[in-house]
């Protein structure tokens, strides 16, 4: 779990392990600095800012939002990542969760899109930790 947290907990280092992010520039602080922003450049050239809302180095969890507006067709987005040990095997359980407001079918569609996006991130993380290349995760529809 410690190795996974070293990667996930480096909020500003996401470009090192998520293939669709080509750069991450830290603004306002380093590792675990609540309120700091990571300005991300995506593979298609778009940029997006994410702000660290909560960071707990002991509980191995963090939360973030989009301070300049969410690039997805949802409102009130907050994403969170939490790690827990799987004691029987020594593996790590990673939960990536998002909460947001959207209406009806749009909510279901975005929930499915986020699920696919996070699955790609987890695949990229696994590849990074195993020393291989990124997966081929693709971005979801944005505003």
pLDDT band at 132 (very low <50, low <70, confident <90, very high): low
Query: Over the stretch 60-103, which tens digit does the pLDDT of each residue have?
Result: 999 999 999 999 999 999 999 999 999 999 899 999 999 999 98
**CATH code at 66?**
3.30.530.20
Does residue 139 lie within any of the structural domains? no
Q: Which domain holds residue 23?
A: 1-133
- In-domain check, residue 27: yes
Residue 91's pLDDT is what? Answer: 92
Task: For residue 130, count CB atoms less than 10 angstroms from its CB and return exposed for 0-12, middle for 13-18, buried for 19 or more.
Answer: exposed
In a domain, 116, yes or no: yes
In the chain, the number of structural domains is 1
82 lies in some domain: yes
User: What predicted TM-score, i.e. pTM, was given to this entire model?
Assistant: 0.87
Burial class (CB in 10 A: 0-12, 13-18, 19+), 125: buried
- 43 in any annotated domain: yes
CA distance 11 to 25: 10
pLDDT at 134 over 60: no
Specify if 138 maps to a domain. no
- Residue 113 and residue 6: Cα distance in Å, rounded? 27
- Whether residue 50 is contained in a domain is answered as yes
Least confident of 3-7, 69-73, 138-142: 138-142
């Amino acid at each position: 779990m410690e190795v996974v947290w070293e990667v996930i907990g480096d909020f500003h280092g996401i470009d090192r392990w998520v293939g669709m992010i080509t750069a991450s520039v830290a603004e306002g602080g380093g590792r675990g600095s609540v309120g700091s922003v990571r300005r991300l450049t995506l593979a298609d050239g778009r940029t997006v800012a994410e702000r660290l809302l909560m960071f707990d180095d002991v509980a191995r969890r963090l939360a973030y939002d989009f301070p300049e507006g969410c690039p997805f067709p949802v409102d009130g987005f907050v994403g969170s990542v939490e790690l827990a040990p799987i004691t029987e095997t020594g593996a790590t359980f990673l939960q990536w969760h998002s909460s947001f407001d959207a209406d009806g079918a749009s909510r279901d569609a975005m929930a499915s899109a986020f699920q696919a996006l996070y699955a790609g991130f987890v695949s990229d993380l696994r590849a990074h930790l195993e020393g291989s290349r990124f997966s081929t995760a693709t971005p979801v529809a944005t505003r």
